[in-house]
Amino acid sequence: MYNFKGVIIARPMRPNPKQKEDTARVNDAIRAKEVRLISEDGGLIGIVDIREALEIAEKRDLDVVEISPNANPPVCKVIDYGKYKYEQQKREKINKKKQHIITVKEVRFRPHTDTHDIETKVRKIREFVEEGDRVKISVMFRGREMAHQEMGHDTLNKVIALLEDVAKIDKAPKQEGRFLTAYLAAKK
């Protein structure tokens, strides 16, 4: 970046928020004086001085990696650091695959929604529930319809009754301003 006289002005580097900081300390970055040391095969070596742990790792041509920094004394393992990072990434990838994100779908009705339209929307809600999504059912009131809220309750109860074989009520019907809402989730 240049200023008006052609002099280069250095901008301060900002850390990349997408890039995670590596939390594990390795070798000389470990601050504790004593550590609980674990060998590469998983056996406990014992509580040793950090210099002694570094010597053991150097003899085996490996690194000392801090596994549990909050323990007293911190737990360290004699392992190849590259292998440790690879296994950690593999574990994170597997955990990411296992997690299931539940989305909330919303279907809106009116107090005077016709029976056929209700059945059509109920089929769509059934698909959402079978896919594992939560469904927010809303009955929207306009103008003078607010004076006859029981019609909205009837519509909502009719929808819930049609879906009770595949869905259960996650949140009971509740009036929120001009909307009467209920949440449905799949039966386990």
104-186 shares the fold of 27-95: no
CATH number for the domain formed by residue range(s) 27-95? 3.10.20.80
User: With respect to CATH, is domain 104-186 assigned 3.30.110.10?
Assistant: yes
Output the tens digit of pLDDT for each of the chain's 188 residues: 555 555 555 555 565 555 455 567 888 888 888 889 888 888 888 888 888 888 888 888 888 888 888 888 889 899 888 888 898 899 999 988 888 777 899 999 999 999 999 999 999 999 999 988 899 999 999 999 889 899 999 999 999 999 999 999 989 999 989 999 999 999 87
What's the pTM value of the predicted model, to 2 decimals?
Answer: 0.51
For the chain, the domains span 27-95, 104-186
d(CA 144, CA 169): 28
Residue type at position 188: K
Query: And the tokens for 161?
Result: 């009754």
Buried b (16+ CB within 10 A) or exposed e, 118-142: eeebbeebbebbeeebbbbbbbbbe
